[in-house]
Chain A
Amino acid sequence: MSIVAAAPTDYTAPGVEEFWQPLIGDGAWAITRPIFLMLLSTGLIIWWLTATTKKRALVPSRGQMGTEAVYGLVRNGVAKDLIGSHEFMKFVPLLFSMFVLILVNNLFGVIPPMSYPTMSRIGFPIALALIVWIVFHVVGMKKHGFVGYWKSLVPAGLPKGMIVPIFILELITDLFTRPVTLALRLFGNMFAGHILMALFISGGWYMLTSGGVLIVAGGVTWVFAFVMTLFELLVEFLQAYVFTLLAALYIAGAVADEH
């Protein structure tokens, strides 16, 4: 603590305020930086996807190959494997657009001009989780009927006394835990990752500029910040994948013949 005491003590760690960056207006209806990034990412994705699939070449160009690789991952690796080859085609557009939207917005967290993971603002993950929540319930009810769907929550062949508690547990999972954790997982990972990186970089900068022994510590911190950035890259991809995977899993559970 003596080392820190030697330095000026005006350092404040990055906090929640870092994420509030209104561009136009203020308050609840302000156009904020993440909104702008969200629009930018949507535009970029639409441009990229339409441009690379325009030619429909059998022997793909490099861009088309990239698009096809991502599409193949979602289509075959997630949707087909989990939902089954009967009904998965209905959900491929949903899962694919969800995956690319989350992925690009997550990657904005480490790409310099943006440097802001859109999904660290909980409004966006909640919107996406809400869509998934509505979709898997509606699909399940379409498949089993309104009563049949709720009945299918309880596995068949349970002893009489177990039916009610299991039903309540499943109901809580279905209605509450699943969507909330889906949104919070994405938000939490992006928020924590970004705040950690901000902490490493700003703390490192603070130590570098305060001189003395702290310069070495600052250097080490910045090396760690770089390592953290690589780790963030992995987490960003993984979270997009996990979100899509879980969305597919919930849909698969809803359309499955036996729950």
Chain B
Amino acid sequence: MDGNIAILGYGLSAIGPGIGVGLIFAAYINGVARQPEARGMLQPIAFLGMAITEALAIFGIALAFVFRG
């Protein structure tokens, strides 16, 4: 098998953010479903939360390329 262990590391680093982003949007959808008029207020919060959570996965992919060789 040919490949790079770094990509495995990226896979691991994507687990946490994946769950995190899922939780954020689950909460966002819940909130909007309960109170559709709060959509405008919840949207930036949801996306900001997603941006912060996703940052870890993005660091993962960056570092996977940095340490691939």
- Touch between A and B in complex, CB under 8 Å? yes
Interface residues of A (CB under 8 A from B): 81-82, 173, 177, 180-182, 184-185, 188, 192, 242, 245-246, 249, 252
With both chains docked as a complex, state the minimum distance between the C-beta of B48 and any C-beta of chain A, in angstroms: 6
Which residues of chain A come closer than 8 Å to B51, judged between CB atoms?
Answer: 181-182, 185, 242, 246, 249
Which residues of chain A come closer than 8 Å to B54, judged between CB atoms?
Answer: 181, 185
With both chains docked as a complex, state the minimum distance between the C-beta of A236 and any C-beta of chain B, in angstroms: 17
* B48-66 vs A, Cβ < 8 Å mask (1 yes, 0 no): 1011101100110110000
A185 near B47 (CB under 8 angstroms)? no
Q: Which of A173, A182, A192, A249 contacts B44 (CB 8 A)?
A: A249
Q: Which of A82, A173, A185, A252 contacts B58 (CB 8 A)?
A: A185
Interface size for B (C-beta < 8 A) is 14
A181 near B47 (CB under 8 angstroms)? no
Distance, CA A242 to CA B51, complexed state (A): 9
Which residues of chain B come closer than 8 Å to A185, judged between CB atoms?
Answer: 51, 54, 58
Distance, CA A188 to CA B48, complexed state (A): 18
Could you list 16 further interchain pairs (A-B, Cβ under 8 angstroms) beyond the known A180-B58, A249-B44, A249-B47?
A: A81-B40, A81-B43, A173-B52, A181-B59, A184-B62, A185-B54, A188-B58, A192-B61, A242-B47, A242-B50, A245-B47, A246-B47, A246-B51, A249-B48, A249-B51, A252-B44
Interface residues of B (CB under 8 A from A): 40, 43-44, 47-48, 50-52, 54-55, 58-59, 61-62
B47 near A177 (CB under 8 angstroms)? no
B40 near A184 (CB under 8 angstroms)? no
Which residues of chain A come closer than 8 Å to B62, judged between CB atoms?
Answer: 184, 188
Given A177-B55, A181-B51, A181-B54, residue A188 in contact with residue B61 (CB < 8 A): yes
Distance, CA A48 to CA B67, complexed state (A): 43
- 16 A-B pairs with CB atoms under 8 Å apart are A173-B52, A180-B55, A180-B58, A181-B51, A181-B54, A181-B58, A184-B58, A184-B59, A184-B61, A184-B62, A188-B61, A242-B47, A246-B48, A246-B51, A249-B44, A252-B44
Nearest-CB residue, chain B, relative to A192: B61
Nearest-CB residue, chain A, relative to B62: A184
Q: Quick one: which of A173, A182, A185 has the most chain B CB within 10 A?
A: A185
Q: Please list the 6 inter-chain residue pairs (A to B) with the smallest Cβ-Cβ separation, ordered nearest first.
A: A181-B55, A184-B58, A188-B61, A181-B58, A245-B47, A246-B51
Nearest-CB residue, chain A, relative to B57: A188
Distance, CA A192 to CA B47, complexed state (A): 21
Nearest-CB residue, chain A, relative to B45: A249
Which residues of chain A come closer than 8 Å to B40, judged between CB atoms?
Answer: 81
Distance, CA A188 to CA B51, complexed state (A): 13
Which residues of chain A come closer than 8 Å to B50, judged between CB atoms?
Answer: 242
With both chains docked as a complex, state the minimum distance between the C-beta of A119 and any C-beta of chain B, in angstroms: 14
Which residues of chain B come closer than 8 Å to A188, judged between CB atoms?
Answer: 58, 61-62
